[in-house]
Structure 1
Amino acid sequence: MLNAKDVKTVEDAKRIIDERNLSHVKVGLFDIDGIMRGKYMSKEKFFSSLDSGFAFCDVVLGWDSKDQLYDNGKVTGWETGYPDAPVRILPHTCRDIVDEPGQLLFIAEFVDEAEKVCPRGTLRKVIEKGKAMGFDAFAALEYEFFMFDETPDSIREKGFRNLKPITPDFFGYSVIRNSVHSELYQQIMGMGELMDFPIEGLHTETGPGVLEAALAVDDATKAADKAALFKTFMKVLAQRNNMMATFMAKWSGDYPGQSGHIHLSLKNSADGSSAFYDANNKHNISKVQRHFIAGQQRLMPELLAMFAPTVNSYSRLIPGFWAPTDATWGVENRTTALRVIPGSPKSQRVEYRLGSADANPYLALAAALGAGLYGIEHELEPEAQVKGNSYEQTHSPELALPRTLWESAQRLKHSAAAKDLFGETFVEHFAATREWEEREFRRHITDWEMERYFEII
């Protein structure tokens, strides 16, 4: 009997479905916001799609996270009639599914013209650039997320107010919490093993009901697949337990925001050696890693929308809450946007600490890797490293990050480097979607505005 993790080819995919006597399988792909969209597909249709591909309505590239149609996109829209776009199924992404014994999940991705704005295709474009430069990229993503004793119905009945986290108070790295709730922790870790996104570390963070999961390192494409699946099925697991998990960047002004940190390293394709490690240099930082850091630092303000893609993202980027506010770097410094982690040839890496948990893993990783490769390609040099508390220091104006989603969208839209890395079609489309997101926000009145202005002004 074939295991899901052993499926590599079209023939393997057909064999495992026959062996399990499945009438249907689940197929999904990820949209611009990193939301998995998909369906159950009959065995006959799936086999045909494995051989010849299939078509998926391209509206998922033309609407937002609430299924509202963009009015400023050119990739698809009312003028095109929202046609089906060609999609390919990726046999090697075969997974068992938590709480669906015997059932299988396969990831798909857009091809042809739609591939230009497909998040997975955008990441692959950057990875291929790295390979052409002689590097293989490896990554590990880690996420903070809050858990609530709520359901999709209860949060709406409450108007998303007065929500109850699964545990009270601040209690980071708590053995008490993970022991009392050991069944939940075991479910999460078991899901990671079953669905092939193994969790290297799982612990409470600082805040009521907040957890942090660090996923194991893998090559960059697989790391993004695993991160996107983790976010999706963590929500599934929570709801099946009559709980809810949120990856919002910041759900409450009283607590720290939620990060989506990215650990990155490069290996030399020729021999598999670390491209970041040089024992002859301080902190073992090789010339390649130095240029990589410089590229990430230089392009951070221009690519911020890919790491902080929602209006809410910018509520997190404030001093003193473990979120960077300038494009800084330091060695083992968690107050900077980039944290260099020196170590052995195996562990030498850089942690991109800027990203929030709400980012699309494919696009955040594409931006973090692409910026680093840009730095290598152009032999850029980083600013002086920050020592001590970055929040209390004054930095170059060039290192200042945009403070709103609209500003970030404008920086991305006019970034020559972004167009070179991701293609003009992607940059234009993604920037337009972020402009839409900001405009949607401006149409609404917040509780803060009502409380502040209703009586007094």
Structure 2
Amino acid sequence: MPLPEAADIAAAPTSSRPADEFGAYVAEHGTPDIVEVLLPDTHGVLRGKWIPGTAGGKIWGDGVAIPLSIFGLDIWGREVEETGIHIETGDRDGMCRPVAGTLKPVPWSPRPAAQVMISMYEPDGRGGERPWDLDPRHKLAAQVARLAALGLYPCVAFELEFYLMKPAPGPGGVPEPVFPASTSGPARQNMYAMSDLDAHAGLLHEVREAARIQGLPADTVISEAAPGQFEVNLYHRNDPMAAADDAILLRRLIDGVARKHGLRASFMAKPFLEFAGSGMHVHVSLADSGGANAFAKGEAGERLLRNAAAGMLATMADTCVFYVPSYNGFRRLVPGSYAPTSISWGYDNRAVAVRVPNGPPKARRLEHRIAGADAHPHLVLAGILAGMIEGIERGLEPPTPLTGNAYEQEAPLLSYDMGEAVRRFAASDFVGRAFGAQYRRVFAIMKETELAAFERRINPLEYETYL
């Protein structure tokens, strides 16, 4: 992660640029065939519409009407009626507005296309609009605003791991892994292998070029801890909203380029039991109003860092389902896997949940290592920032930092069970205070429904054992 040095951000930059944004795009790139409007739902799944390029300017004027209930869909895109926000309400439309800075070309598209992220608003009853409470983007904006009220401004960078896969052979089939064969014999761990990068150099260079075209601040590309697994790091952003947008759009970019090459990019948290899972690590520092790293201000900065770390740890169990939102994701939290299994912190220790990386004072930061690659970046960052605020406002002190192998040391364990994590979230006073009772209720209902769907399926091992 590059060194954070400034924090020239707005508290909650959710509105679009002036109405001529689309005109400026057309002047530079020409009129696209379509404009893809992208709305990340509760699970981080992109939903939206294709709008003809000739009508693209209306997005900045009229907005885009989409049902408010899109945030009551499960991970498969089905209505979760128990949320009470579907037909019971008349299934009302919300109005979606474009997010500043996200209108970009789609270089992997077979026809000229543009894309823009949007966020949801609802009528406020007085002829205006207000943020729709169930849009995760607004949950993050609220935490950024809370920190700004304390005179603190997050500087954020995401790291994203993924696997390259061959497409599934047919309906119901399972995608096959693409294991670059840098040596003979079976697929094996080959950490940081240049030969694995070389094996997919064409695809990875196209990812880098697409990121350049779209203005995504892509940094290092590495071959990760398993064959066929890669990681793309993003540079830090002084705008935390843009940092979360970057992570959403990078996933789409990687998958789009992979499809163009006849492959699939998998952000599944644990696609193979025998190999490492894919994570989403988040680096966060806090700057003061002058742009200086507040964590680097001597004894006061170290105390602020400790308070922030303590808050992240104290709230981690309550918000775990933000970071590990899927049934599969809990398979990633296993000892020895470089995915944390305990509520712990430490200095330059990759076995803990919250790490203080080495580096010069101006780069002083906390690295949150729990989230899977399938998590919603806006909710992950919202949970992290809310925890930091809790620790700072209450002056919390963290436990003794762990050194060495954290998997073999005493520390409270993260949940290994999705049901337990959802129940903890649903009962949490902290979640209610930080994110609102309505969001706590609806999110918990959707995750309970998702868990029930998995628990109603018979595992193939059961057939192998008992049939």
TM-score, length basis structure 2 = 0.89
Given residue 248 of structure 1, which amino acid in structure 2 is its aligned partner?
Answer: M
C-alpha distance in structure 1 between counterparts of 2:154 and 2:223, whole Å: 29
Q: Quote how far apart the aligned CAs of 1:344 are.
A: 2.7
Report how many aligned residue pairs link the two structures: 437
Q: Quote how far apart the aligned CAs of 1:37 are.
A: 1.1
Given residue 434 of structure 1, which amino acid in structure 2 is its aligned partner?
Answer: K
Q: Which runs of 5+ in 2 are unaligned?
A: 1-15, 123-129, 182-186
User: Contact between 1:224 and 1:361, CA under 8 Å: does it hold in 2?
Assistant: yes
Corresponding residue number in structure 2 for 1:252: 272
User: Contact between 2:63 and 2:96, CA under 8 Å: does it hold in 1?
Assistant: yes
Change (3 A) 1:106 1:392: same
Change (3 A) 1:345 1:162: closer
More moved, 300-309 vs 380-389: 380-389
C-alpha distance in structure 2 between counterparts of 1:205 and 1:68, whole Å: 34
Change (3 A) 1:363 1:318: same
Q: Quote how far apart the aligned CAs of 1:319 are.
A: 1.0
Q: Segments of 4+ in structure 1 off by > 4 A? A: 161-164
Q: Quote how far apart the aligned CAs of 1:22 are.
A: 3.8
Query: What do residues 286-319 of structure 1 show as CA deviations (whole Å, max 9, x unaligned)?
Result: 2211110000010001100000000001111111
What is the 5 A alignment of 1:348-427? 348-395=364-411, 399-427=412-440
User: Contact between 1:35 and 1:232, CA under 8 Å: does it hold in 2?
Assistant: no
Corresponding residue number in structure 2 for 1:211: 230
Given residue 58 of structure 2, which amino acid in structure 1 is its aligned partner?
Answer: S
User: Contact between 1:155 and 1:161, CA under 8 Å: does it hold in 2?
Assistant: no
Corresponding residue number in structure 1 for 2:217: 198
Change (3 A) 1:127 1:193: same
Change (3 A) 1:225 1:261: same
Corresponding residue number in structure 2 for 1:56: 66
Corresponding residue number in structure 2 for 1:3: none
Given residue 368 of structure 2, which amino acid in structure 1 is its aligned partner?
Answer: Y
More moved, 430-439 vs 44-53: 44-53
Query: What do residues 115-143 of structure 1 show as CA deviations (whole Å, max 9, x unaligned)?
Result: 21101111111111111111111111111
C-alpha distance in structure 2 between counterparts of 1:22 and 1:98, whole Å: 12
Tell me the SS of whatever aligns to 2:362.
coil
Given residue 13 of structure 1, which amino acid in structure 2 is its aligned partner?
Answer: F
C-alpha distance in structure 1 between counterparts of 2:112 and 2:17, whole Å: 18
C-alpha distance in structure 2 between counterparts of 1:439 and 1:311, whole Å: 10
C-alpha distance in structure 2 between counterparts of 1:327 and 1:88, whole Å: 38
C-alpha distance in structure 2 between counterparts of 1:171 and 1:155, whole Å: 30
Change (3 A) 1:29 1:183: same
Given residue 254 of structure 1, which amino acid in structure 2 is its aligned partner?
Answer: E
C-alpha distance in structure 2 between counterparts of 1:8 and 1:116, whole Å: 22
Corresponding residue number in structure 2 for 1:154: 169
Query: What do residues 354-396 of structure 1 show as CA deviations (whole Å, max 9, x unaligned)?
Result: 111110111111111111111111111111111111111122x
Structure 2 counterpart of 1:228, from 230, 236, 248: 248
Given residue 98 of structure 1, which amino acid in structure 2 is its aligned partner?
Answer: P
Given residue 92 of structure 1, which amino acid in structure 2 is its aligned partner?
Answer: G
Structure 2 counterpart of 1:83, from 92, 106, 110: 92
What is the 5 A alignment of 1:276-315? 276-280=295-299, 286-315=302-331
User: Contact between 2:203 and 2:257, CA under 8 Å: does it hold in 1?
Assistant: no
Q: Quote how far apart the aligned CAs of 1:14 are.
A: 2.7
Given residue 160 of structure 1, which amino acid in structure 2 is its aligned partner?
Answer: V
Determine if the alignment matches structure 1 residue 442 to structure 2 residue 442: no
Tell me the SS of whatever aligns to 1:433.
helix
User: Contact between 1:155 and 1:163, CA under 8 Å: does it hold in 2?
Assistant: no
Tell me the SS of whatever aligns to 1:154.
coil
Q: Which runs of 5+ in 1 are unaligned?
A: 1-6
Corresponding residue number in structure 2 for 1:122: 139
What is the 5 A alignment of 1:323-338? 323-338=339-354
C-alpha distance in structure 2 between counterparts of 1:323 and 1:16, whole Å: 42
Change (3 A) 1:394 1:91: closer
Query: What do residues 247-280 of structure 1 show as CA deviations (whole Å, max 9, x unaligned)?
Result: 11101111111111111111012x1111111345
C-alpha distance in structure 2 between counterparts of 1:418 and 1:144, whole Å: 28
User: Contact between 1:9 and 1:92, CA under 8 Å: does it hold in 2?
Assistant: no
Corresponding residue number in structure 1 for 2:3: none
C-alpha distance in structure 1 between counterparts of 2:206 and 2:33, whole Å: 27
What is the 5 A alignment of 1:117-196? 117-148=134-165, 150-151=166-167, 153-154=168-169, 156=171, 159-160=173-174, 163-167=177-181, 168-196=187-215
Structure 1 counterpart of 2:20, from 11, 15, 21: 11
C-alpha distance in structure 2 between counterparts of 1:400 and 1:313, whole Å: 16
Given residue 202 of structure 1, which amino acid in structure 2 is its aligned partner?
Answer: V
The percentage of counterpart residues that share the same residue type is: 27
Change (3 A) 1:144 1:15: closer
Structure 1 counterpart of 2:117, from 87, 94, 107: 107
C-alpha distance in structure 1 between counterparts of 2:176 and 2:287, whole Å: 48
C-alpha distance in structure 2 between counterparts of 1:233 and 1:191, whole Å: 7
Corresponding residue number in structure 2 for 1:4: none
Given residue 320 of structure 1, which amino acid in structure 2 is its aligned partner?
Answer: G
C-alpha distance in structure 1 between counterparts of 2:196 and 2:131, whole Å: 45
C-alpha distance in structure 2 between counterparts of 1:241 and 1:44, whole Å: 30
RMSD: 2.0
C-alpha distance in structure 1 between counterparts of 2:154 and 2:401, whole Å: 24
C-alpha distance in structure 2 between counterparts of 1:96 and 1:346, whole Å: 35
Query: What do residues 209-248 of structure 1 show as CA deviations (whole Å, max 9, x unaligned)?
Result: 1101111111211110000011122111111110111111
Corresponding residue number in structure 2 for 1:452: 465
